[in-house]
Amino acid sequence: MNGLYAHGSSSQDQLLAWEKEALEKFFAKMGDKEKPFPCIPATIGFSMNQLKYGFVGSPRRDTTIKEIASLLSSYTEQSRGFGDYTSLIIFFETPEEMKEVPVEEFEQLFWEHLSGLNGLDKFDWPEDLPQDPHNPIWEFCFNGEKYFMYCATPAHKNRKSRHFDVLMLAITPRWVLQEFNKSKSYAKRIKAQVRKRLAKYDSISIHPDLNTYGAEDNFEWRQYFLRDDDTSLSKCPYHQVLKFLGKHK
């Protein structure tokens, strides 16, 4: 499956030790009944075996961005056949010493990766989507597909919903979220339950940047990487890098 793995697939036998460990810890986190993971749609996708998994090198290695691009390209081409709750989960080979760095260093790496993906994208930016991340309906795109990005790090301590033992991305197609929101009453009920779970799961209040796509006061990029406190960046680094490069896709 071009580097993509499914839960229980025979190809998992070929995984490296750190890859197997990352999967086992992720499965334990998503399957925990005593302390359920807050994102209910993600737990549904996990229970229905619609999540796909991939592994890349160290977050600090330049070649890692190409590995992410390769996985995301393969996923984009196949995702609509995986189910209505699918997401791509990418685990990074995170050195032990790196697990002690502050959240802000992971934040910087995350935005460098997204900017690097833009540079490798062979598709034009969708015409129906603003190029400015500070527009409420902007979101990240790759291979012509719109995506919501989620980042978890070893450095998150208070916000357990954003903690994982290695650097991790969860990448969800916009069409998955659109399917979820088709029934407004169902979506509203689930979102309320998610917020209740978050309040119990994290040892800190819900981040003020968590919002609803399309709302006038919402910015998707702010939700991609939530800090371990209530602070946030004033401007989107992705936008700044593209301005520096002198291009918008």
**110 vs 237, more confident:** 110
What integer pLDDT is reported at residue 235 of this predicted model?
Answer: 82
What integer pLDDT is reported at residue 215 of this predicted model?
Answer: 65
What integer pLDDT is reported at residue 214 of this predicted model?
Answer: 59
Q: Residue 243 and residue 249: Cα distance in Å, rounded?
A: 11
Residues 116-143 pLDDT 10s: 998 899 999 899 988 888 888 899 999 9
Tell me which residue of 206, 239, 210 sits closest to 222, measured CA to CA: 210
What integer pLDDT is reported at residue 96 of this predicted model?
Answer: 96
Residues 160-176 pLDDT 10s: 999 999 999 999 999 99
Residues 55-90 pLDDT 10s: 999 999 999 999 999 999 999 999 999 999 999 999
What integer pLDDT is reported at residue 249 of this predicted model?
Answer: 43
Band (7; pLDDT cuts 50, 70, 90) = confident
Q: Is the CB of residue 87 less than 8 Å from the CB of residue 171? A: yes
Please determine, for residue 246, whether its predicted confidence score (pLDDT) is greater than 50.
no
What integer pLDDT is reported at residue 14 of this predicted model?
Answer: 86
2 Ramachandran zone, left/alpha/beta (phi>0; psi -120 to 50): left
Q: Output the CA torsion sign for 80, 77, 221, 60.
A: positive
Q: β-strands 140-142, 88-92: how paired?
A: unpaired
Band (218; pLDDT cuts 50, 70, 90) = confident
- Calculated CA dihedral for residues 192, 198, 204, 205, nearest 10 degrees: -10
Tell me which residue of 200, 201, 221, 199 sits closest to 209, measured CA to CA: 221
Which residue stretches of the chain are H helix? Answer: 17-30, 40-47, 64-78, 103-120, 174-180, 184-201, 220-224, 237-245
Residues 183-215 pLDDT 10s: 889 989 999 999 999 999 999 999 988 877 656
Q: Is the CB of residue 71 less than 8 Å from the CB of residue 4? A: yes
152 Ramachandran zone, left/alpha/beta (phi>0; psi -120 to 50): beta
What integer pLDDT is reported at residue 107 of this predicted model?
Answer: 96
**57 vs 217, more confident:** 57
Q: Residue 25 and residue 134: Cα distance in Å, rounded?
A: 35
Q: Residue 78 and residue 57: Cα distance in Å, rounded?
A: 23
- Ranges of each domain in the chain: 10-242
Residues 12-47 pLDDT 10s: 778 999 999 999 999 999 999 999 999 999 999 999
